[in-house]
């Protein structure tokens, strides 16, 4: 069992202070927020405080935050909910979106929409020229992520917003990977909707949010008792929402410390990778400081991940969220990477708990794993 965790873009451990904030709502504070008595009022106030915390962390107003059960849910809600209340036209998503953005966009094709994707270049940056060309077709919704989960490449969402608005299209951005790693400012971006998720920032599973500008007319995700201003009915997961709020406050407290600590680890890692002949993807792009995505010729990424796990290191092959399939990463394919090379990709993603000594140990383990795997291939040949 691995004991060094280098997979923080997949999920993070719950921060102790977050658990502490959640505990009352899993034990004695068990009120339903719609109840009139003091239990209900306390629960309601706890949710509103969490809403303010999330809003503050992302540069939004509290009444723009709609709680959901995950980032996946918020992305589905944004795409299908916004599109459903607009005239059918083109919906554009970048070629590197998480499937929980690209698949709902494709699903809108059954409701008369035309779904197309925007290209990226070899460094995983959105091709703005391609966006401009595709915007010539009547477009009502554009979704481009703020930072990619695999390469960490940060996208020019502000420019996307300006270009899309010139064509009167709405813009959604998936900021799930950006939150807690780089500054996220909903108001400054000017997007109409933005997704964030709790378990990526030291909060619990079971909470996410769609940040939604008041200008947007959206179809409710769930109909029922009218919770979340009627947009997502269902009794709220209070403990998870409270944890999400607490995690937001903690994760955005000192982003420069996160950037300097994790970027130093990544630099050390990537300097060490030179000797292993790794190809590092999107290395010259503006990237999340904690993320490194790389591959080796003639090495299968999943086999390498298993070998590293046995040596004590938890890393990801491609995107953990889509690792149920062994297809090469769609992100790397969109960047024009050869499919054989893409199959060999592994991702390391750090957080504040990781150390330079762990990176040194990892480089030793990686060298050993590569040697063993190459020897096995040579014997089999
Ligand atoms: N968007 C991105 C960019 C992600 O990386 C992920 C998960 O990895 C999601 C959305 C889905 O978020 P959640 O796990 O909260 O459903």
**pLDDT of 207:** 98
Q: How far apart are CA 110 and CA 97, in angstroms?
A: 20
**pLDDT of 34:** 96
- The string of pLDDT tens digits covering residues 184-211 is 999 999 999 999 999 999 999 999 999 9
Tell how far the Cα of 158 is from the centroid of ligand 1, in angstroms: 21
**pLDDT of 319:** 45
Whether the per-residue pLDDT at 119 is higher than 60: the answer is yes
DSSP-derived secondary structure letter, 154: B
- Candidates 146, 166, 168; CA nearest to 215 is 168
Q: What is the pTM of this model?
A: 0.97
- The string of pLDDT tens digits covering residues 265-282 is 999 999 999 999 999 999
- The string of pLDDT tens digits covering residues 55-102 is 999 999 999 999 999 999 999 999 999 999 999 999 999 999 999 999
Tell how far the Cα of 98 is from the centroid of ligand 1, in angstroms: 7
| Under 8 Å between Cβ of 274 and 82 | no
Coil, strand or helix at 92: strand
Angle between helices 38-58 and 238-251 (to 10 degrees): 30
- The string of pLDDT tens digits covering residues 21-38 is 999 999 999 999 999 999
- Candidates 214, 171, 178, 213; CA nearest to 197 is 178
Q: How far apart are CA 352 and CA 349, in angstroms?
A: 11
Which token pair is 4?
Answer: 């060094």
pLDDT band at 2 (very low <50, low <70, confident <90, very high): low
**pLDDT of 365:** 98
- The string of pLDDT tens digits covering residues 281-318 is 999 999 999 999 999 999 999 999 999 999 999 999 97
Q: What are phi and psi of 247, to 5 degrees?
A: -65, -35
**pLDDT of 1:** 59
77, 221, 321, 349: which to mutate for ligand 1, most atoms within 8 A of CB?
Answer: 321
Index of the ligand 1 atom closest to the CA of residue 100: 10
Index of the ligand 1 atom closest to the CA of residue 199: 15
Index of the ligand 1 atom closest to the CA of residue 177: 3
Whether the per-residue pLDDT at 169 is higher than 90: the answer is yes
193: β partners: 172, 212
- The string of pLDDT tens digits covering residues 313-359 is 999 997 444 445 578 999 999 999 999 999 999 999 999 999 999 99
11, 71, 206: which to mutate for ligand 1, most atoms within 8 A of CB?
Answer: 71
Whether the per-residue pLDDT at 379 is higher than 90: the answer is no
CB atoms within 10 A of CB 32: 14
Pairing of strands 291-295, 90-94: unpaired
pLDDT band at 137 (very low <50, low <70, confident <90, very high): very high
Index of the ligand 1 atom closest to the CA of residue 145: 3
**pLDDT of 327:** 85
* CA nearest ligand 1 atom 14, residue: 71
Whether the per-residue pLDDT at 125 is higher than 90: the answer is yes
User: Which residues have C-beta atoms less than 6 Å from ligand 1?
Assistant: 70-72, 75, 98, 100, 145, 149, 174, 176-177, 197, 199, 208, 321
102, 103, 147, 149: which to mutate for ligand 1, most atoms within 8 A of CB?
Answer: 149
319: Cβ–Cβ under 8 A, 6 or more apart, which residues? 98, 149, 150, 329, 331, 347
Which token pair is 309?
Answer: 């796990």
Task: Give the residue numbers marked as catalytic.
Answer: 321
Q: How far apart are CA 135 and CA 20, in angstroms?
A: 48
Whether the per-residue pLDDT at 124 is higher than 70: the answer is yes
* CA nearest ligand 1 atom 15, residue: 71
**pLDDT of 285:** 98
Torsion from C-alpha of 140, 146, 152, 155, nearest 10 degrees: 70
DSSP-derived secondary structure letter, 63: G
């Amino acid at each position: 069992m691995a004991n060094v965790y280098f997979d923080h873009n997949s999920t993070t451990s719950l921060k102790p202070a977050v658990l502490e904030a959640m505990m009352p709502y899993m034990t004695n504070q068990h009120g339903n927020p719609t109840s009139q008595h003091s239990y209900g009022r306390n629960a309601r106030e706890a949710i509103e405080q969490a809403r303010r915390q999330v809003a503050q962390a992302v540069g939004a107003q509290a009444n723009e935050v709609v709680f959901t059960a995950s980032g996946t849910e918020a992305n589905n809600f944004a795409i299908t909910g916004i599109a459903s209340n607009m005239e059918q036209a083109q919906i554009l998503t970048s070629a590197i979106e998480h499937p929980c953005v690209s698949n709902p966009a494709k699903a809108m094709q059954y409701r008369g929409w035309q779904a197309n994707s925007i290209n990226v270049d070899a460094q995983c940056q959105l091709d703005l020229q391609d966006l401009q060309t595709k915007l010539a077709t009547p477009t009502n919704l554009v979704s481009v992520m703020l930072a990619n989960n695999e390469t960490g490449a940060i996208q020019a969402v502000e420019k996307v917003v300006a270009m899309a608005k010139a064509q009167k299209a709405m813009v959604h951005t998936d900021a799930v990977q950006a939150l807690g790693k780089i500054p996220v400012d909903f108001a400054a971006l000017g997007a109409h909707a933005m997704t964030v998720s709790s378990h990526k920032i030291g909060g619990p599973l079971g909470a996410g949010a769609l940040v939604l500008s008041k200008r947007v007319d959206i179809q409710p995700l769930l109909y029922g008792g009218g919770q979340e201003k009627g947009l997502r009915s269902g009794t709220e997961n209070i403990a998870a929402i409270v944890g999400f709020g607490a995690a937001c406050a903690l994760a955005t407290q000192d982003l420069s410390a996160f950037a300097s600590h994790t970027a130093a680890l990544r630099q050390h890692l990537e300097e060490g990778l030179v000797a292993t002949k790794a190809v590092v993807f999107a290395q010259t792009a503006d990237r999340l400081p904690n993320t490194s995505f790389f591959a080796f010729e003639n090495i299968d990424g999943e086999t390498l991940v298993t070998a590293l796990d046995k040596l004590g290191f938890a890393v990801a092959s491609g995107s953990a969220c889509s690792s149920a399939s062994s297809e090469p990463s769609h992100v790397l394919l969109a960047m024009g990477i050869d499919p054989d090379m893409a199959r060999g990709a592994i991702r390391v993603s750090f957080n504040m708990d990781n150390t330079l000594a762990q990176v040194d140990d990892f480089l030793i383990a990686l060298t050993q794993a590569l040697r063993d795997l190459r020897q096995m291939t040579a014997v089999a040949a």
